[in-house]
Structure 1
Amino acid sequence: MKEKILVVENEIIIAADIKSCLQQAGYIVPGIAAYGEQAIAKAEEFAPDLVLMDVMLKGKMSGIEAAAEINSRFNIPVIYLTAYSDQSNLQKAKTTQPFGYILKPFEENQLITTIEIALNKHQKEVVMREALEQEKERQKSKSQFFSMLSHEFRNPLNSISVCAELLTDHSHQLNADKKEEYLNHIQKSVQHLENLLNDVLLIGKAEIDKNQFKPQPIDLETFCRNLVTDIQLGANTNHNIIFKSIGSYSITNNPIISQTPQLISVDEKMLRHILTNLLTNAVKYSPQGGTVKFEIFYVPGEVIFRIQDEGIGIPEADQENLFTSFQRGSNVGNIPGNGLGLAIVKHYVELHGGEISFASKPGIGTTFIVNLPV
């Protein structure tokens, strides 16, 4: 589809000629204006890709003033049409950063060529501007990440330092129980630091894994059953993980019931991390125990994983930022964690071209759903 060009011209006959020329070249002319105020209104209404602006317009507003307004409000490129080449007008026009000048009378080839050059230049500027904004946002996110990371490391380090100082300087005043309490506190802090460091390294590896995403066919049901067995062994006896596979997948993309193993192409390491994180979270955030349901659904074009717990749930105010690094529910209390796991999970899901969503209610439980294309 060709670009839309708004024609703003003082002379109606010239405007009609320009419109006819542009339409013959395949461009769309959504409107013609002869007044500056009218040009601004039409620019807002039609959102053209480019404006051909006569320097001398009817009414109180000049073409240069109208162009400045259109550029600042809508970021639409402007090419000036003028029968004058005096230095005064040219200097005023330059301040609006136009994408070209056409002196009247002009040839059709000159008009079309100038328009094509202007559109191409504007498109490149848009791409560069978007890339710059993305880089600024990336740098901002990186700065925030390292600021939060510093805070997360500082807390357990301070705790270790305080406990070590008490054991060193006041050991003779502490009984055996108190010494054991401080040592246990140090061990827990060290474990927290180790977990945090592992997750940070995993985030760095996740960036590398963009180029190392290597899906391979696996027996998905066997993979998931083995995973459940491993996690159930590490869970308390009051947690019960129930696994169910609903249907299986045929090469014709139709859900079928089959007793033969079905091979699904995924990155096994990434899928293991995704499901392990979600299942261990389901257990961890169900401190009173209960049932964790783990189900696989096969539908045309994708496989769906659903993990449902009966735990503490996620407060509504915390749900928007759940996949942001270092963000945790405000109701987790003393349950250990650093808020990095789900950010990594989301990244791995997206590398598969999939989606992750959830529904949660405090005191009732949480359900995570992962959709992966097959």
Structure 2
Amino acid sequence: MTNDDQSADLARQRSRPSPLVEQELEQLRRQHQLILNAVGEGVYGLDLDGNVTFVNPAAAAMIDWPVEELIGKSMHAVLHHSHVDGSHYQREDCPIYQAFQDGSTRRVANEVFWRKDGTSFPVEYISTPMHDEDGQLVGAVVTFRDITKRRWAEAILQRTNEELEHKVQQRTAKLREANQQLRELSEMRSRFVAMVCHEFRNPLNNIALSVSSLNRYETQLSGADKADYLLAINDNVERMTQMIDDILVIGKIEAKVLEVSPQPLELVTFCQALLAEREYQRSPAPIKFHCRSRQLMAHLDERLLRSILSNLLSNAMRYTPDDNPIRLKLAKRQDILILQVEDEGMGIPQADKRLLFEPFHRGRNVSNIPGTGLGLSIVKQFVDLQQGTLQVVSKVGQGSTFTVRLPLRLTPSVSVP
């Protein structure tokens, strides 16, 4: 052996690790491998070309590839080749490979990786550059996790929050509605108290005045004068009685204890008899009745129908000058009864039409004409109870026409328990 050969052999022996060092290195490699195998997250290493240098079992299992088949492959082509919508993912745009260019760590939580069978799953990953002992960039380590369950939980949480928010909004709306109803009820009670005080005070004052006059001037009054005073007392008593009846009816309707009892009824005779009553006598322009039929049979609740017509006629008389005409029209069209009350009175302002059928509401142009504001509310609810419709056409200074349409024969379902 030459001196040169001896020198080379000696150099190799000096550069070779001792058996103890080799044993420690092997043990360290095994520990690293055990750690990689035990990690639940996917971990793989890449060289500068983007090819796999190592991959742990968790990563291989998540993408359904054998570990040995991944070594040396382009990992971008294996699991990062497409966006979530299936469109091609350019390698140059991939954050993992951008880490090779600037040496910075990239964290991404809004992309997907693809399995071998072509299905995808949402991932969160970190791409960390790797450097050698001299500080040279040699590749990258990518750690990723499947966040399907987390996305599912987030979706459930979001949906739950949305449902909760919707319920809160519904409850808030109901509370607002309830508060509004309470305010309206309070306003209605105030109007009711004011109306009752006003409407009862006037007839009571008239009764008291008539009684006082009868007592004071009994010997001076003629029989006709006394009869007039008694008639005025009777009228005022009837007025208060009617108001009490109207209030009781409104209460029954709201409590849903009013029953509808349809019976056979001949309407022509019914209307003529109603107009013949003293309270509907009118001079110098009597109420005119129009009907082309001599007889018109129906199956309705006579009590409710009487209240409907009485209120409409009373309103027409109250708000129409004595010499202006009022008409009651009766007609039949197929199986529908049509009742119309027309007047040429003061009419209804446009601003009042929206609240026309609300209890205690009175038009702003009624001035000091007495009234409770209950009549049209009762009419509307009685029409509804009999499955009918109520329409009004009115113009200030020209009059109003109220049209009631009712089925000629009520069905049993209209009864209110």
Of 288, 291, 294, the match for 1:245? 291
Offset of 1:312 from its aligned partner? 1.6
Alignment-mate amino acid for residue 320 of structure 2 = S
Distance 1:281 1:135, change over 3 A: same
How has the CA–CA distance of structure 1 residues 55 and 281 changed in structure 2, closer, same or farther, with 3 Å as cutoff? farther
Retained in 2: the 8 A contact 1:283–1:289?
Answer: no
Q: Output the aligned Cα RMSD.
A: 4.5
Label 1:209 to 1:268 Cα distance change in 2 as closer, same or farther (>3 A): farther
TM-fit CA distance, 1:12: 4.2
SS at match of 1:236: coil
Q: Percent identity at matched positions?
A: 31
One-letter amino acid of the structure 2 residue matched with residue 276 of structure 1: S
Q: Report the more deviating stretch, 153-162 or 233-242.
A: 153-162
SS at 1:357's partner residue? strand
Q: What secondary structure, in the 3-state scheme, does the structure 2 residue paired with 1:333 have? A: coil
Unmatched 5+ stretches in structure 1: 1-9, 14-53, 57-81, 100-121, 165-170, 177-182, 248-258
Indicate the structure (1 or 2) with the bigger Cα radius of gyration: 2
- If the length of structure 1 is used for normalisation, what is the TM-score? 0.54
Q: Structure 1 residue 147 and structure 2 residue 194: aligned?
A: no
Alignment-mate amino acid for residue 150 of structure 2: S
Q: Deviations over 1:16-50 (max 9, x none)?
A: xxxxxxxxxxxxxxxxxxxxxxxxxxxxxxxxxxx
- The SS at the match of 1:84 is helix
Who is 1:206 aligned against?
Answer: 253
Task: Note the residue ranges of structure 2 that are not aligned, 5 or more in a row.
Answer: 1-82, 87-120, 124-146, 218-228, 409-417
C-alpha distance after superposition, 1:274-296 (max 9, x if no partner): 01111121122113332211111
Equivalence map 1:222-261=2 (5 Å):
222-230=269-277, 234-247=280-293, 261=295
Secondary structure in structure 1 of the residue aligned to 2:347:
coil
| Alignment map for 1:184-203 (pairs within 5 Å) | 194-203=241-250
Q: How many residues align?
A: 250
Residue 96 (str. 1) matches residue 179 (str. 2): no
Q: Work out the CA distance in 1 between the residues paired with 2:385 and 2:247.
A: 18
3-state SS, counterpart of residue 150 of structure 2: coil
Structure 2 residue matching 1:332: 3-state secondary structure? coil
- CA displacement 1:84-114 (0-9 Å, x = unmatched): 2389947963762459xxxxxxxxxxxxxxx
User: Measured at CA, do residues 136 and 373 of structure 1 come closer, stay the same or move farther in structure 2, by a change above 3 Å?
Assistant: farther
1:85 to 143, 150, 170: 150
Q: What are the residue-to-residue correspondences of 1:1-374 with 2, within 5 Å?
A: 11-12=84-85, 83-85=148-150, 89=154, 93=158, 96-98=161-163, 139-155=182-198, 194-207=241-254, 212-230=259-277, 234-247=280-293, 261-374=295-408
Distance in 1 (alpha carbons) for counterparts of 2:150 and 2:170? 32
What TM-score, normalized by structure 2, do the two folds share? Answer: 0.49
Q: What code does the residue aligned with 1:93 have?
A: Q
CA 1:91/1:202 → structure 2, altered by over 3 Å: closer, same or farther?
closer
| Pairwise CA distance, 1:145 | 2.3
CA contact (8 A) 2:266 2:298 kept: yes
Rate the CA distance shift 1:302–1:127 in 2: closer, same or farther, 3 A: farther
Change (3 A) 1:207 1:158: closer
Question: AA paired with 2:339?
Answer: F
Q: CA distance change for structure 1 residues 128 and 243 in 2, over 3 Å: closer, same or farther? A: farther
Offset of 1:197 from its aligned partner? 2.7
2:247 maps to amino acid: V
